[in-house]
Amino acid sequence: MNESLVNTKATPGRILQIRRDFPVLERQIHDKPLVYLDNAASTQMPRQVIETVSAYHTYHHSNVHRGVHQLSQEATDLYEGAREKVRAFIGASSVKEIIFTSGTTDAINLVANSWGNRNIGRDDIILISNMEHHANIVPWYMLAKRTGAKIEVIPVLDDGSLDMDQFAALVRKPNVKVVCVNHVSNALGSVNPVEQICQICRERDICTVIDGAQAIGHFQIDVNQLGADFYAFSGHKMHGPTGIGILYGREELLQEMDPYKGGGDMILSVSFDHISWNELPYKFEAGTPAIAQAVGLGAAVDYLNGLDRTYLAKYEDELLAYATKRLGEVPGMRLIGTAPQKVSLNSFVIKGVHPHDIGSILDGEGVAVRTGQHCAEPVMDRFCIPATTRASMSIYNTFEEIDMLTEALLKVTELFDVND
C-alpha cells in the first residue's frame, strides 16, 4: 500500500478525472455537496452510459429478433452486441453462456428453478454460507421446501471471513449437490476464496452458484479461471442501469436445463401437444427483453474497459484502509466485518445509536449511506446486532469524502453523547 498517498489524504488526479464523468456527483443535498457512499446498493452511472441509453431511445428503439426493418435490426445488433461485450468482459467461452436477466435475484431464481428442479431431490444437501444476501437464500429455501432437500450453513468467523475448515468438512457429506456462496459479502465486504471453493466442489462433482453482484464492480472477473458453474450479477452494481443482469452458466449445464419462464422468443415451435425450446441463450429469455438496459450495460462494460482497473483496485484498497483508520477515531465505533480480504466497504454500529438515526443525520450532512439489515438477516444474527450502517465506496470516491463522513459521524456521537 502507498502509505504516503493515504497520509496526505489527497485524491489523485486520475480519480478526480473519473468523477467528472458522473453528473450526479455535482449535486448538492441539503445545501451540502453530495457524498455518495451507497455503492453496494447501486453504483452511479457515468455520462457515457446515460447518453448511450438516451441515444437508443432516441434513434434505435424497436423490438429485437422480430423484424426485418431497419430499426429492428439496429436494436438487435445493439442488444446482441452488448451480450458479446459481457462475454468478453467476464471471460466466458461463448455468448451461449450469457443469459440476460432482470438482475442477480432473477438469475439465481432461474438456476434454483431450472437447474434445481432437475437435480435436487429429497435429502439432498444445499450448502449456503451464513453471509448470503437473501437472493441467494430464499430461492434455495423454496426449492428445499418443494423437494424435501436440506439446507446446511457454512459458518462465518468473527472477522467476517468464511470458515473454510467447516466448509471443507461440510462439503465432504455424501448428499451435497450445490454450494451457493457470494463472491463478496454485501453486508461485510468480505471477499471469499471462490476459486478455491469451486475447485473443491469440482473435484466432488458439486455444482457451484456464485453471487457476483458485489464483486463485478470492484475487480476483474474471469469465470473460467474461477471455475464457477453459474455466476450471477447486476448491471446497476457496475455503473450500468437497473433492471438488467447476467447469468453466466457453463454451456453443457444450460443445454440440459429446461426454461422456467414461458412465452415468446424462447421457443422454436408451439402447438397444443408439443413445444420445442429455442437454442441457447434464448430459451431462458422469454418475452420482450430489457433492450435499453442491456444496451446500457454494454456501455458500462465499455466504460470500465477504458479504465485502468488494476490501478483502481489498488486505489480502492487505499481508500478502505483510510476509511477504516478514520472510522476508528469515532467514539463507540464497532466495525462489523474486518476480514483481511475486503472490498472498499465498511459496516459499523455506534454504541447506543440506532443505525437509522445515524443514516438520517448523515443525510442531513449530504452523506448517503445504507442502514438496516442489507437483505442479509442471518449475518446480522451471527453478529448479534439488529442492523448496521454501511458506507460502501467505488471508483469515484475520495479521501476527502471519507473525512466528511467521519466529521458527520462525530456530530452523531456529540448529539447522542457517545463515549468510548
Per-residue pLDDT tens over the stretch 9-43:
789 999 999 999 999 999 999 999 999 999 999 99
From the number of C-beta atoms within 10 Å of its C-beta (0-12, 13-18, 19+), residue 3 rates as exposed
Nearest to 200 by CA among 218, 182, 173: 173
* Model confidence pLDDT, tens digit, residues 372-409: 999 999 999 999 999 999 999 999 999 999 999 999 99
Nearest to 246 by CA among 355, 98, 388, 63: 98
Is pLDDT at 215 greater than 90 in this prediction?
Answer: yes
Is pLDDT at 238 greater than 60 in this prediction?
Answer: yes
DSSP element (H, E) containing 150: strand 150-154
**CA angle at 30 for the pair 325 and 399, rounded to the nearest 5°:** 25
Per-residue model confidence (pLDDT) at position 9: 73
Of the candidate CATH numbers 3.40.50.300, 3.40.50.2300, 3.40.640.10, 3.40.50.800, the domain formed by 50-306 belongs to 3.40.640.10
Spatial distance between the Cα atoms of 418 and 378, rounded to a whole number of angstroms: 28
**Residues forming a β-bridge with 388:** 372
pTM: 0.96
* Model confidence pLDDT, tens digit, residues 326-375: 999 999 999 999 999 999 999 999 999 999 999 999 999 999 999 999 99
User: What pLDDT band is residue 1 in, cutting at 50, 70 and 90?
Assistant: very low
Spatial distance between the Cα atoms of 42 and 104, rounded to a whole number of angstroms: 13
- The pLDDT of 301-316, averaged and rounded, is 98
Per-residue model confidence (pLDDT) at position 33: 97
Spatial distance between the Cα atoms of 282 and 268, rounded to a whole number of angstroms: 10
Q: Where in the chain is the domain with CATH 3.90.1150.10?
A: 13-45+308-416
Q: Which residues contact 306 (CB under 8 A, 6 or more apart)?
A: none
User: What pLDDT band is residue 107 in, cutting at 50, 70 and 90?
Assistant: very high
Is pLDDT at 2 greater than 60 in this prediction?
Answer: no
Per-residue model confidence (pLDDT) at position 391: 99
Of the candidate CATH numbers 3.40.50.720, 3.30.530.20, 2.70.98.40, 3.90.1150.10, the domain formed by 13-45+308-416 belongs to 3.90.1150.10
User: What pLDDT band is residue 414 in, cutting at 50, 70 and 90?
Assistant: very high
Alpha helices by DSSP H, 33-186: 47-55, 70-90, 104-110, 116-119, 138-147, 164-170
User: What pLDDT band is residue 49 in, cutting at 50, 70 and 90?
Assistant: very high
Q: Where in the chain is the domain with CATH 3.40.640.10?
A: 50-306
Amino acid at 376: A
Spatial distance between the Cα atoms of 378 and 180, rounded to a whole number of angstroms: 15
User: What pLDDT band is residue 86 in, cutting at 50, 70 and 90?
Assistant: very high
Which residue's entry shows cell 472490498?
343
Is pLDDT at 8 greater than 60 in this prediction?
Answer: no
- Beta strands 388-392 and 370-372 are antiparallel
Cell of residue 192, nine digits: 471469499
The answer to whether 375 and 388 have CB atoms below 8 angstroms apart is no
Spatial distance between the Cα atoms of 117 and 98, rounded to a whole number of angstroms: 21
Is pLDDT at 3 greater than 60 in this prediction?
Answer: no
Per-residue model confidence (pLDDT) at position 127: 99
Spatial distance between the Cα atoms of 350 and 335, rounded to a whole number of angstroms: 9
- The pLDDT of 270-290, averaged and rounded, is 96
Per-residue model confidence (pLDDT) at position 355: 98
Per-residue model confidence (pLDDT) at position 45: 99
User: What pLDDT band is residue 67 in, cutting at 50, 70 and 90?
Assistant: confident
The helix/strand/coil state of 94 is: coil
Q: Any idea which residues carry the catalytic annotation? A: 375
Nearest to 221 by CA among 209, 233, 203, 206: 233
Cell of residue 155, nine digits: 459458518
* Model confidence pLDDT, tens digit, residues 143-171: 999 999 999 999 999 999 999 999 999 99
Cell of residue 375, nine digits: 437483505
Q: Which residues contact 410 (CB under 8 A, 6 or more apart)?
A: 329, 330
Q: Mean pLDDT for the chain?
A: 97
Alpha helices by DSSP H, 338-383: 355-364, 377-382
From the number of C-beta atoms within 10 Å of its C-beta (0-12, 13-18, 19+), residue 241 rates as buried
Spatial distance between the Cα atoms of 55 and 93, rounded to a whole number of angstroms: 30
Spatial distance between the Cα atoms of 312 and 395, rounded to a whole number of angstroms: 6
Which percentage of the chain shows pLDDT scores above 90?
Answer: 97
- Please give the span between the terminal C-alpha atoms of the chain, in angstroms, as a whole number: 29
